[in-house]
Amino acid sequence: MSEFSEDRSITVSIDHLSKTYPVPFLRLKKFFRRKFKPPVEALRDVSFQIHEGEIFGLIGPNGAGKTTLTKIIATLIQPTSGEVAVRGNDTVRDDAQVRRDIGLASAEERSFYWRLTAEQNLLFFARLYGLSGPEAKRRIKTSFEMFELEELARRRFAELSTGNKQRLAVARAMLAKPPVLLLDEPTRSLDPIAAARLRSTISSLARAGDSRVTIFLTSHNLAEVEELCDRVAIIGKGQIRALDTPHNLRATHTRNEEVSIIFSPDVADSVNLALRQTFTDQSFTLERASHDQRWLLKFSREAEDKTLDKVLSVLHQSRAIVRTIETKRATLLEVLEQYDESERDTRGRRN
Amino acid sequence: MVLLSRIWAFVARDWLVTVSYRMQFFLRVLSVLIAVTTLFFISKIFVGFTDVRFAEWRDPLAAWLTGLAVLNYFMTGFSSLANAIRQEQMQGTLESVLMTPISVPTVVVASSAWDFVEATFFSLLYLIFGWLFFDVHYRGSALLALVFLLLTTLVLSCLGILSASFAMVFKRGDPFGILLGTGSALFSGVFFPTQLINQHAGSGVASISKILPPTYGLDGIRRVLIEGQGFSQVHEPFVTLLAFLAVLLPFSLWVFGRAVRRAKREGSLIQY
């Protein structure tokens, strides 16, 4: 995670944003009494701010409104109501200035010209950004080095692997050195090593001294979001359900944590007895961990309560030697699942 | 300056794509040569049969080649703007292009720039092959012919903007393309004098040719290039084309602005 502070200036401001996709030719359909599907409400009263140099993650199930929100920030779709401003510029009124300030990298392979080489593709987009010939070539060279694509510069886009196409998309988004980067599943098609390298690059962009990049990231890879993002918003049915740091989201939504302790030697019976005497309403599982007299003790506790201290004391009194202790909090996936379930429950009750 | 450099970027891109399909390019050159040769032999049937009323058609080969060369250019002016948007939509590249600080009208104009370069080349090829291999001679002011060509292309580009607006909202089934594509060849005097429509189909059908801008463009260019007429003799089609432009330019830009806003509202700008 980058060194994020809320004191920093606001780079992206989203204020009471709603988007309902209109029914095409509604009046005509009504006039001819044709059936039509109801308008799709993609976003409902979404408000949040992203600060300079922050890596902000947006997660949610398919159809939750992630792509619509990204495209509104990218000026490709106009909101129905509310406002989005990037560095103070409105995405509808000052759309050209907003596009100068943002770069978008999506996982869409078809966004390049397949008959052109990787270099020719970047040169074309650099010219559209208004970069002069020598400057464009210098930037392209730097981008190729940064994303380890030098050897593929002269290859046709069609000949690149899916992972390299993805890296080229991020390189293109960074070409004009925009202060804001929108990344839509940036590591979706990458192998684990390439994905880790790209994550490291993304992280370093947000930490790069005076030229920090603000990053808005959507991903289905929750481990990636946890690793990279300073704050995460959970979106469901077009509404922001929760917004906090990954740590706080986990802590707020699941107070409990699973504790696993491995101990030796073979003193399981006395440990079991001592635990029953000490804890009357706490359940424990005790099982053999391996063949060399090690035992695994599992229990859950409320985060930071005194259960663990008491258990360690019992183990000590039973002459057990603690080998390892692991605590496991809920992941973002579990948090997301919890929201998904509550949404399904609400829908079920309505039906 | 920035606009020019962006148009140049699109031209350079399309040039690279074109040369990556070398065979297609040479086959197109060959097809022009075959078409010119075919018309040369057909024109031999009409030697000595030309009606004195149709002075521009005294040398049918010259009239056809001018007609085809100019029609090629006109159709580019009319269709390339809509095609540019449609092609970018279908390729999936429109979103990434629109993510750069470039306006939608600039994308439309710049994307079609290469089509004009190509149309210029192939239109000239009709005339050059006629001159080089079949002794077709042109007289009159090339500059005046060029002014006519540009003016008619501008008028057709306005219709092209309407067509692009249609493509942006309805995606397919463009009525302008169907009407102008088939209508121009039949009613604008590309292959035969428009007066013949009046003679054989009546004034009602003949009036269609009067509402088509290519009719005036072709008439002017033929009178300049084949008959050698000066501006004072061709001012009538010239003024008519100016009138078309005065009405169509503001109207088409207004419609285009509305189409872009509508597509952005519906979120369908990049769909096809």
User: Residue A59, CB half-sphere, CA atoms under 13 Å: how many?
Assistant: 28
- Please check the confidence at residue A139 and state whether its pLDDT lies above 90: yes
Task: Give the closest residue to A246 by CA, choosing from A258, A261, A233, A259.
Answer: A233
Q: Which residues contact A184 (CB under 8 A, 6 or more apart)?
A: A66, A67, A70, A104, A105, A106, A107, A218
Contacts with B13 from chain A: Cβ below 8 Å = 113, 116, 120, 124
A residues 95-154 closer than 8 Å to B (CB): 96-97, 99-100, 102-104, 106, 108-113, 115-116, 120, 124-125, 127-130
pLDDT band for A108, please (50, 70, 90 cuts). confident
- Please check the confidence at residue A293 and state whether its pLDDT lies above 80: no
Confidence (pLDDT) at A318: 86
CATH number of A10-252, picked from 2.50.20.10, 3.40.50.1950, 3.40.50.300, 2.60.120.10: 3.40.50.300
Q: Which of A21-30, B4-13, B167-176 has maximum average pLDDT?
A: B4-13
**Total number of residues shown for chain B:** 272
Q: What CA–CA distance (Å, rounded) separates A31 from A47?
A: 37
pLDDT one-digit tens code per residue, B43-77: 888 777 666 677 777 788 988 898 888 888 878 87
β-partners of residue A242 are: A234
Q: Which residues contact B122 (CB under 8 A, 6 or more apart)?
A: B28, B32, B72
> What number is the average pLDDT over the span B77-82?
79
* CA distances from residue A334 to A219, A228, A330, A338 in whole angstroms, order as listed: 15, 18, 6, 6
| Residue in A22, A104, A115 closest to B99 by CB | A104
A22: preceding bond cis by omega (within 30 degrees): no
Confidence (pLDDT) at B95: 85
> What number is the average pLDDT over the span A258-272?
84
The C-alpha of B6 sits at a distance from chain A's nearest C-alpha, in angstroms, of: 6
The C-alpha of B158 sits at a distance from chain A's nearest C-alpha, in angstroms, of: 24
CATH number of A255-328, picked from 3.40.50.300, 2.40.50.140, 3.30.70.1150, 2.40.110.10: 3.30.70.1150
Every domain of chain A and the residues it spans: 10-252, 255-328
Decide: B230 and B250 in contact? Cβ < 8 Å.
Answer: no
Q: Is A113 helix (H, G, I), strand (E, B) or coil?
A: coil
Confidence (pLDDT) at A97: 93
β-partners of residue A328 are: A258
Confidence (pLDDT) at A137: 93
pLDDT band for B241, please (50, 70, 90 cuts). very high
Q: What CA–CA distance (Å, rounded) separates A2 from A5?
A: 9
DSSP state of A331: P
Percent of residues, chain B, with pLDDT higher than 90 = 19
Confidence (pLDDT) at A64: 85
Q: What CA–CA distance (Å, rounded) separates B183 from B251?
A: 22
Confidence (pLDDT) at B196: 85
| Residue in A19, A22, A74 closest to B99 by CB | A74
pLDDT one-digit tens code per residue, B217-231: 888 988 898 888 888
- Please check the confidence at residue A4 and state whether its pLDDT lies above 60: no
Contacts with A76 from chain B: Cβ below 8 Å = 95, 98-99, 264, 267, 269-270
- Please check the confidence at residue A263 and state whether its pLDDT lies above 90: no
Confidence (pLDDT) at B168: 78
CA angle B244, B250, B256 (to 5 degrees): 115
Tell me: ipTM over 0.95.
no
Question: Amino acid identity, residue A86?
Answer: V
Q: What CA–CA distance (Å, rounded) separates A314 from A261?
A: 12
Q: Is B58 helix (H, G, I), strand (E, B) or coil?
A: coil
- Please check the confidence at residue A27 and state whether its pLDDT lies above 80: no
Task: Give the closest residue to A13 by CA, choosing from A44, A45, A54, A48.
Answer: A48
Pick A75 or A330 by higher pLDDT.
Answer: A75
**Residue ranges in A147-210 assigned as alpha helix (H):** 162-173, 192-206
CB contact under 8 A, A103 and B17: no
- The model's pTM: 0.77
Give the number of other Cβ atoms within 10 Å of residue A290's Cβ.
10
